[in-house]
Amino acid sequence: MKNVYEDLLSFVWQYRKLPLNLTTTTGNQIEIIHPGQKNTDSGPDFFGAKVRIDDTLWAGNVEIHVKSSDWLKHNHDKDRAYDSVILHVVFENDSVSENLSKIPVLELKRHIPLQLIESYSQMITATQWIPCQNNLKKVEQIIIKPWLLRIAVERLENKTHHIREMLAQSKMDWETSFFLWFLSCFGFKLNNHAFLLLARSIPFKVLMKHCDKLMQMEALLFGQSGLLLRSFKDDYARELRKEYDFLSVKYNLMPVDPKIWKFMRTRPGNFPTIRISQLAGILTRLHQILAIMFSDADLNKIRNLLQSETSEYWKSHFHFDKTGETSRHKSLGTSAVDNLIINAIVPFVFLYGEFHDNQFFRNAAIQMLEQIKAEENHILKHWKSLNITAENAAESQALIELFNSYCSQKKCLECSIGASLLLDIN
């Protein structure tokens, strides 16, 4: 027989995948009224269970083990947290102990189908891309679609943990926190940490004092990036340096180390110089973006405000003092704008709704994702090869989260797809 896993026993108990005619190891009749709430922390495995043993209704906790002797091996007999256990559920009753004589034992060995044990064992030892790959086609869309929506929300909740930390550090200053979060997303992975350091190097309120003057905004951003710490021959660069020298003294600013910026392994259009110029344009409209986010959260309005071109100089340059090409527009592409909405705007709107207990903003965050085209990456290509195709960004985000947080960690019993495959086994 395959190895029996404790988490599978918990799954069987939680979903009551058991016959009705159950008895304790001493022959007492058992009726499961309610399996209880699964405990993810220390202590008994299930809280608040209700079981009827013969004619007595018991309410309390349930502990799950592969073998009854595990009770002593885990020192539960010395832990007061287990005093309220009303039933010890085990796969095999391998010991009789005075310490356990007062706790009824339910042995599941005769009641769990061998196929269920073998199927779960195959899942968690599978070497395919995802554990249920060979059986995924058996799962109906009526199970997959609602699960993806739930996972999309779960991904948003996970992302908001970092925003909550920023809010706490800024003493619940939503604008400053959004500024920090937005810039951390603006680096598009390669330079996200560098942009966050840039954001932390300059007080948000100082930056916003100059939001109506693009040249001053660029001077502050390029100056704080450390990219102005040298002499220049171009008039534009010298003007930026002159403006920054004045503002840095006025506000007592210290630039970041320019070595943090990564120019290698990325297209010229993604160079930090180009992105900083585009960012300056967006920040001149930041108050408008925030106003829409916290009012109607209209996707198209936000999209329009995020459409940002570089200033004139960068249309023919990628570096200071180096003419790069014939003058052409360098604006954020559609995919870059959508990436910012997915990763920066949507989680913030969602958290705003969570924090203020406002369902409108929670729904608006999901609806924005549903209106955006699905992303493309290697994870989503794998899902597509298995005939699971994301119809929008809500589903693509969900599929990314599903793979990273469930499939790759083989949490099949916590996944509706994996659970449905196992629950179908009789």
Please check the confidence at residue 102 and state whether its pLDDT lies above 90: no
Residue 57, pLDDT above cutoff 70: yes
Task: Provide mean pLDDT across the span 53-74.
Answer: 94
Q: Determine the pLDDT at residue 18.
A: 92
Residues forming a β-bridge with 371? none
- Structure token pair of residue 129: 């891309």
Whether the Cβ atoms of residue 48 and residue 61 lie closer than 8 Å to each other: yes
Q: At what angle do helices 114-124 and 416-423 cross, to 10 degrees?
A: 150
Indicate whether 91 and 202 sit together in one domain. no
Please give the Cα distance from 292 to 288 (Å, whole number): 6
How many other C-beta atoms lie within 10 A of the C-beta of residue 380?
A: 20
Q: Of 85, 13, 99, which is closest to residue 47 (Cα–Cα)?
A: 85
Among 66-70, 250-254, 380-384, whose mean pLDDT is lowest? 66-70
Structural domain includes residue 424: no
In the listed set 112, 130, 152, which residue is the last one of a domain according to the structure?
Answer: 112
**CA-based end-to-end distance of the chain:** 17
11-15, 74-78, 176-180 — which is least confidently predicted? 74-78
Q: In this structure, are 227 and 312 located in the same domain?
A: yes
pLDDT at 69 over 60: yes
- Partner residues linked to 105 by β-bridges: 88
User: Per residue in 190-241, pLDDT tens?
Assistant: 999 999 999 999 999 999 999 999 999 999 999 999 999 999 999 999 999 9
C-alpha distance from residue 364 to each of 134, 231, 265, 334 (Å): 36, 48, 36, 20
Of 327, 356, 371, the position where a domain reaches its end is 371
User: Which of 91-100, 110-119, 357-366 has the highest average model confidence (pLDDT)?
Assistant: 357-366
97 in the same domain as 180: no
DSSP character for 19? -
Q: What's the whole-number mean pLDDT along residues 387-411? A: 97
| Res 135: pLDDT | 93
Q: Are both 98 and 221 inside the same structural domain?
A: no
Together in a domain, 213 and 83:
no
- Structure-derived torsion over alpha carbons of residues 320, 325, 327, 333, reported in degrees to the nearest 10: -90
Span 306-328, pLDDT tens digits = 999 999 999 999 999 988 666 67
**What tens digit of pLDDT does each residue of 145-155 get?**
999 999 999 99
Mean pLDDT of the chain: 94
Q: In this structure, are residues 11 and 421 in contact, taking their beta carbons and an 8 Å threshold?
A: no
Do the domain assignments include residue 67? yes
Give 41-63 as a DSSP string.
SSS-SEEEEEEEETTEEEEEEEE
Residue 97 in this model has a pLDDT that exceeds 80: no
Model confidence at 1, pLDDT cuts 50, 70, 90, reads very low
331: containing domain = 170-371
Say if residue 201 is in the same domain as residue 278: yes
Determine if the pTM surpasses 0.85: yes
The mean pLDDT value for 117-126 works out to 92
pLDDT at residue 264 in the model = 87
pLDDT at res. 94: 87
Task: Say yes or no: 29 and 175 in one domain.
Answer: no
Percent pLDDT > 70 in the chain is 97
Q: Count structural domains, the chain.
A: 2
How many Cα atoms sit within 13 Å of 226 on the Cβ side?
15
Q: How many CB atoms lie within 10 A of CB 326?
A: 7
Tell me whether residue 141 is in a domain.
no
CA distance to 174, 175, 355, per residue, from 296 (Å)? 17, 17, 17
Q: Are residues 87 and 178 in the same domain?
A: no
For residues 86 and 234, state if they share a domain: no
412 within domain boundaries: no
Judgement on whether residues 180 and 302 belong to the same structural domain of the protein:
yes
pLDDT digits (tens, 9 = 90+) for 295-306: 999 999 999 999
Q: Is 127 part of a structural domain of the chain? A: no
Query: pLDDT at residue 266 above 90?
Result: no
Residue 388 lies in a domain: no
- Confidence at residue 420, expressed as pLDDT on a 0 to 100 scale: 95
Residues 174 and 299 in one domain: yes
d(Cα 215, Cα 97) in Å, to the nearest integer?
80
- Identify which of 268, 215, 206, 265 has the alpha carbon closest to the alpha carbon of residue 239: 215
If asked whether residues 242 and 363 sit together in one domain, one would say yes
**Does some domain include residue 323?**
yes
Q: Pick the range with the lowest mean pLDDT from 34-48, 90-104, 155-169.
A: 90-104
Better-scored residue on pLDDT, 257 or 94: 257
- Of 112, 129, 147, the residue at which a domain comes to its end is 112
Q: Please check whether residue 304 lies inside any domain of the structure.
A: yes
Mean pLDDT, residues 66-94? 92
